Structure formats: C-alpha cells, structure tokens
Amino acid sequence: MTTQAAAVKKNAKKYGRLGSKAHYPYILPTMIIMTLLIGIPIISVFVVSLTNYQLAMNMDNFRFVGLRNYERLFFGANPIIYYSLTISIGMVVVCTAIQLALGLACAMLLNNDNVRFKGLIIACLIVPIVMTPSIASLIWKLMLNTEFGVINYFLDMLFGFTVVWLGADHALLSILLVSVWNNTPFVTLIMYAGLRSLPSDPYEAALIDGANRIQVFFYVTLPMLKQLILITIMFRCIDMLRMFDTPFVLTQGGPGNLTEFIGLFIYRTGFGVNTQVARAAAISVILLLIVSVISSLLIYAMRKKD
C-alpha cells in the first residue's frame, strides 16, 4: 500500500491538474465538430433575424434592422405568434403527459414475467418508431377521412354516427391522437428498459415491510425511475415543440390557423407568400430560447439532490 500511495502521489505531482481532466484530449475533436455543426447555424439564424432578408431579394436592399423583426412579431397588427405558441405549449403539456402515462403503464405490463409473446409485442411497438412521421400522418389522414375513412366506417357500423375528424371541432384532437400513437411506443420502450434495470433488493424489502402494489409503485418504482422520466420528458418536450410533419400532412395548419403550430408558423413565414426569411429566423430564435429554458429546468431537476 505504501508503494502504491507513493506512485499515486508521484503521478499527481507529475501531471498536476491535468490528472482530473485527462479525458479532454479524447473528447476535444468531437466537441469541435459539434460546435461547428450546431454553433454556426445558430449564430447564422440569429444574424439573419436582425436583417430584412427575403428569398430572392436584391442584395443591394439588404440591411440590418436590429430588433424590428421581433417587434413586428409581438406588437404587429396580427400577432398570430401568440396563438401558435399557446397551442404548441398546450400540445406539449397534454401530449407529453398522455404519452408518459400510457408508456409507463404499457412498460409495467410488459415487465410482468407472465406476459406471453413479449418479443412480438416489442416488435410491434418498434413499427411506429421507425415509420417516418409524414408517412404515418398520411396513413392516419386516410383513416380519418370523413367519407371513406376506416375509423368513421366502424363508428357508423357500431354506433350509427360519424365524426369530421379534420374539421374545426376535432382537428387538434386528431393531431393529438396521431402524435400519441406515433410516440407512445418510444416512451414505452425507454420505461421498459428502465424497469428491467432496477435492482430487486428495494422491492424485496418493501414486500417484507408489508407494502402493497400501489405503495411499491409510488414509493419504490417512481423514485428510482425519476432520472429516466425527466430525460424522457425533456426528449418529448423538445420533439413536440418542433412538431411539423403531423399537422402539415393532416391539416396544413387549417382550418384557417386553428392548427398552425410554431413549426408551421415558421415555415409559412419564411417560405409562404411573403417569404420573410428574417422574420422566420426571429421566430426560430424565440423557439430556441423556449427549448433552452425547458431543457435547463429539466436538467436542473435531474441534478438536484433528493
């Protein structure tokens, strides 16, 4: 032990502070590449948001306008951005909660050793994950069709009524339904992997102390899954905030602006009739700030000590 302690002390004197940061040279190339791939586009979008740039504009008219694009967005004559942000954040909260609840419930069922054909069930869960959202949304658009959709066919056959799923009354509900179907399997597999990795000792101790299943779930399972649940929430919130494929294919933001989420609003502003790329860049910066705040809060919650 004396020889080992002397060797450790000698190495500490030799390398100094580098000893605790010896991994830096190995991750530095990746950090540089990721900084270039992420940092340069973010800076470019922010710079463009301070200009009057439009698609195919004469560069002689190009100039910096400061924060004027942000002022027009929030204090303009028709600030649709407030509505887009409201329905986007509302969809994030509702859809993430439903996906997490269903995913955790399905994972608990899969974690039961008595479940048969578990491999087949997991294979079926992978299908919505690997499908492109635009293709899945196109299939759902056909299924939700008022006249010849299969869902209305069964509703009419069993209950004697049909629903205009993509109309003004049910458009948001339809997008919610498709998003839940498309992303709940992802949450299910993450929760299932987390449940399979939990140690058995706390469960044995809880059963010896006389805890029932509900108590075991709330006081043993959920606390041990806390970190994984927060990571899943962060992934789903970021993904839902930038949602574009599903509403674009199902409703294209309609009827009117009813389902114009923030992703669609950015697309229409930058590549619609007016081709206001600078204003679209300003909205993208705002979306980036919202995502950064949500991610920071969730990361803080993950690092906070119990």
pLDDT at 222: 92
| DSSP notation for 4-56 | HHHHHHHHHHHHGGGGGGTTHHHHHHHHHHHIIIIIHHHHHHHHHTTB---TT
Asked whether the predicted pLDDT for residue 172 surpasses 80, the reply is yes
Asked whether the predicted pLDDT for residue 21 surpasses 90, the reply is no
pLDDT at 119: 86
pLDDT at 305: 55
pLDDT at 10: 55
Residue 129's nearest CA partner among 235, 271, 212, 217 is 235
Give 136-152 pLDDT, tens digit per residue. 999 999 999 988 899 99
Give 110-133 pLDDT, tens digit per residue. 988 888 888 888 888 898 888 888
The residues spanned by each domain of the chain are: 79-303
Asked whether the predicted pLDDT for residue 105 surpasses 90, the reply is yes
Q: Which amino acid is at 18?
A: L
151 and 165 Cβ atoms separated by less than 8 Å? yes
pLDDT at 304: 76
280 and 103 Cβ atoms separated by less than 8 Å? no
At a CB cut-off of 8 Å and minimum separation 6, what does 131 contact?
A: 182
Average pLDDT, the chain: 87
pLDDT at 20: 58
pLDDT at 140: 95
Backbone conformation region of residue 160, classed left if phi is above 0, alpha if psi is from -120 to 50, else beta: left
Q: How far is CA 114 from the centre of its chain?
A: 33
The tokens describing 73, both together, are 């967005």
Residues 193-216 as b or e (16 or more Cβ within 10 Å = b): ebbeeeeeeeeeebeeeebeeeeb
Query: 54 pLDDT band (50/70/90 cuts)?
Result: confident
pTM: 0.85
Asked whether the predicted pLDDT for residue 6 surpasses 60, the reply is no
CA–CA distances in Å: residue 19 to residues 5, 7, 8, 23: 15, 13, 11, 9
Of 13-17, 83-87, 127-131, the one with minimum mean pLDDT is 13-17
Give 249-288 pLDDT, tens digit per residue. 999 888 888 999 999 999 998 887 668 889 899 999 999 9
Question: What CATH architecture is 79-303?
Answer: Orthogonal Bundle (1.10)
pLDDT at 4: 59
